[in-house]
Each structure stands twice: as structure tokens, then as C-alpha cells.
Amino acid sequence: MLNKDTFKQLISETVKGIIWKIVLDDEEQILLVESRTDTKEVYFYAYDFKKSQFLMKDKVFEEKWLIGISGIYKTTAYFYQFENEFSPARKGIIAFDLRNQNILWENYNYVLENISYKGILAFNSRIQPRRFELLDPETGLLLKNVKQEEISEYPTIINKIQIPDSHFSEEITQCYQELKINDLDIRSGYKKQENTINHILEIYREGNLIFTDYLAKDIQKVSPDTFFVWFNRLVYIKDKSEIVVYLL
């Protein structure tokens, strides 16, 4: 790594398995990671940037494998389960308070459609055709029935992230992602080094290389998602299992 003290490192945490998903809570500044292992176990990690501490590490639920994260808002994380190992269909909602580490409510008949500022848009999977309902985020109780033509009034909360532009080529070493922010030029690309191709993150200021780090070594194909910036924090994954965050 070049000039590792150029930026303040906020997180460098290696998880169990590989990082499967990252979700963000803009309002409370919480980052939540879902990881999966080849032994069919799912773990969750949550970091609170306001308090500069992990709220949980290696968190597991009673269901060890058929569970995933839907999203997070105001410190409450919403999880789902799969119908079975061979189906991608989701079932159930589990609302989990990250700060107090307890389940606020759970409903295994409902499926979460999206998380909006007005509440949780969901539907009862046992009723066809779908009838959408707005649920209270803290209790799971019904706030109102939502007609099909009203769904657009409850859009999914969009995180305030900055993502790089992607540049593709038939030659892997010509593929890269780039994001210019303030006076920084952040790039991730592929370089041949000692008969292998490595995935490298670089940051330039006024044309000068001031920071570099490996994302992965001896890679075989292009990775579609490499980094993003969230509230002036650079977030990226190393070797599929390490979450790294720097303050720019």
C-alpha cells in the first residue's frame, strides 16, 4: 500500500466467508454486511459511524442459511427467509433493532416489497392477487391498505452513494472503473504483475498517485462492482472477504 496514512482508515474487517451484500442506513450512518460461507452459514456485521464502533460481528440467527438482509432504516434491519434451498422466493419479515440487539417484530406470512420513508410496503404471500399494505416499521402493524395505483407514492429509499463509471474492453487490462470527486481521481483496474493479473485500487491527486491497495490477486475475470463513496467515505472489498472504509 502506498501512503497508507494519506487517508484515515475507519474499517478493516475480515468476515467469515465471502461478502454477499452491503446495505446502508443514511440517516443513522450504519453499514451492514451480509456474508456467506461454503458450509452454508450466514453472518452479519454492522458498523455505526456515528459512534465509531461495531454494533455486531459474526451475528447469526436461528435460521443459519436460508436468510438474508432486505434493507435497513433508522437502525432497524429487515431480514427475510427463503421458501426453501432450491427457490429464490422470499418469505417473512424479521425486524431487528441493531442498537439493542433484539427482534422488534416478525411476520412469516408477509413479504417485504420495499422500505420507504412512510413505512414498510409489504404483501401477504398467501393472498392472490397481491394486496399491498403499509406496515409500521417499529411494530409491523397495519398502517393502511395500498392500492396498486398508489404504490408509486411509497418509493424505495435510495442511498446517497457515488458510484464509479465503468469502462469495458475485450482486453482485461484495459477495463477499469473511475470516480472523480473533489480533487481526487479514484480508479480500480487490472494490471499484469509477475505472470498474474491483479485487481488494484488507486487514488490520484493532480495526476500524482497518492494511494494504492490490492482488491484481489491472480484474478480471472472483471468484477462489476469494486468501490463506492458514501458521505465522503471510500468503501471497497478486498479478497472477497474484507470490508475496508477510508475517510477521504
Look-up of cell digits 466467508? 17
Nearest to 122 by CA among 107, 109, 112: 112
Our CA dihedral for 57, 242, 2, 165, rounded to 10 degrees, sits at: -120
User: pLDDT per position in the chain (248 positions), as tens?
Assistant: 555 568 999 999 999 999 999 999 999 999 999 999 999 999 999 999 999 999 999 999 999 999 999 999 999 999 999 988 888 889 999 999 999 999 999 999 999 999 999 999 999 999 999 999 999 999 999 999 999 999 999 999 999 999 999 998 889 899 999 999 999 999 999 999 888 999 999 999 999 999 999 999 998 888 878 899 999 999 999 999 999 999 99
How far is CA 55 from each of CA 32, 48, 94, 99, 177, rounded to the nearest angstrom?
9, 6, 18, 6, 32
Mapped to the 3 state alphabet, what secondary structure does 93-133 carry? EEEEECCCCEEEEEECCEEEEEEECCEEEEEECCCCCCCEE
Q: What is the pTM of this model?
A: 0.93
Mapped to the 3 state alphabet, what secondary structure does 179-223 carry? EEECCEEEEEEEEEECCEEEEEEEEEECCEEEEEEEEECCCCCCC
Q: In what order do the strands lie in the sheet with 30-36?
A: 18-25, 30-36, 42-48, 53-59
CA angle, corner 108, sides to 107 and 111, nearest 5? 85
- Distance, in Å, from the CA atom of 201 to the CA atom of 199, rounded to the nearest integer, reads 7
C-alpha atoms less than 13 angstroms from C-alpha of 63 in its C-beta half-sphere: 17
CATH node for 16-151: 2.130.10.10
Look-up of cell digits 407514492? 153
Listed by start position, the domains of the chain span: 16-151, 161-230
